[in-house]
Amino acid sequence: ALFIMAGCSSQEQGTWQKIEKEGKLVVGMSADYKPFEYHDKGDNIVGFDVDVLKEVSKKLNLKLELKDTAWDGIIPGLQAKKYDLIMSAMTITEERKKAVGFSDSYFNAGQIIAVLDGNNNIKSVEDLKGKKVGVQLGTTADLEASEMEGVEVKRYEKIPQAFIELNNGRVDAVAADLPVVAKYTLEHSGVKIVGEPFTTENFGIAMRKGDTELLEKINTALAELKQDGTYDEIYAKWFK
């Protein structure tokens, strides 16, 4: 019995050890959320999160591999070890903390709504009663909107689909993170932002619970990027 116990206690190889051995960070993201992560015209995955990740991997002396994953199912994919991290404009929430570990926050955001230019009835979230709001399935926008009384929530796999439905008149508003909505309204005519952000949220990099060594490495790398100005450069590039 002692023998078996000794065998069991020989530590299972940790995620960080595996990453170091393979020399690469494998990250899951839902590349549908411009400007955080999206496909450019050449079909490369680019964005703020991608640039931060590139610098994080540089600091850790690792290659970077991105796995484009549907948002709905991105946490199960982490648990199934399809990747070791999620960086996908993911808000740190108490609910998600039950399932994953989060790095220190790397971005502050908040949910906001957009409507068609000609809409003068919806001036803020307060006016959504009796209206349809489009959100990305399983996001904090979905959670928030689902709790608003008398609001009909239409859920889409990706946020661009919600904007198409806004243009078609099938939803009255779209709710998502401010930088995403701002980017969309900047690049497409006929839609405008209304009101103020109605949540405050912090984005974090998610990993499996118990990956404490990995967590430490990620937090240290993030802190260094903030200190040496790299973070600010990336921020200015995407959110000037």
Chain residues in the site for ligand ARG (CB under 6 A)? 30, 32-33, 36-37, 71, 88-91, 136, 139-140, 177, 201
Side chain identity, residue 192: K
Cβ closest to ligand ARG, residue 15 vs residue 204: 204
d(CA 130, CA 149): 9
d(CA 108, CA 202): 5
Cβ closest to ligand ARG, residue 16 vs residue 166: 166
Cβ closest to ligand ARG, residue 37 vs residue 55: 37
| Least Cβ distance, residue 103 to ligand ARG (angstroms) | 14
Side chain identity, residue 51: D
Cβ closest to ligand ARG, residue 14 vs residue 77: 77
Cβ closest to ligand ARG, residue 161 vs residue 220: 161
| Least Cβ distance, residue 62 to ligand ARG (angstroms) | 22
DSSP one-letter code for 180 = H
Helix axes 159-168, 178-187, angle to 10 degrees: 50
| Least Cβ distance, residue 108 to ligand ARG (angstroms) | 11
| Least Cβ distance, residue 146 to ligand ARG (angstroms) | 12
Per residue in 138-165, is it b (16+ CB within 10 Å) or e — as a string?
A: bbbbbbbbeebeebebbbbebbbbbbeb
Question: What are the tokens at 123?
Answer: 């001036």
| Least Cβ distance, residue 120 to ligand ARG (angstroms) | 28
Question: What are the tokens at 122?
Answer: 């919806």
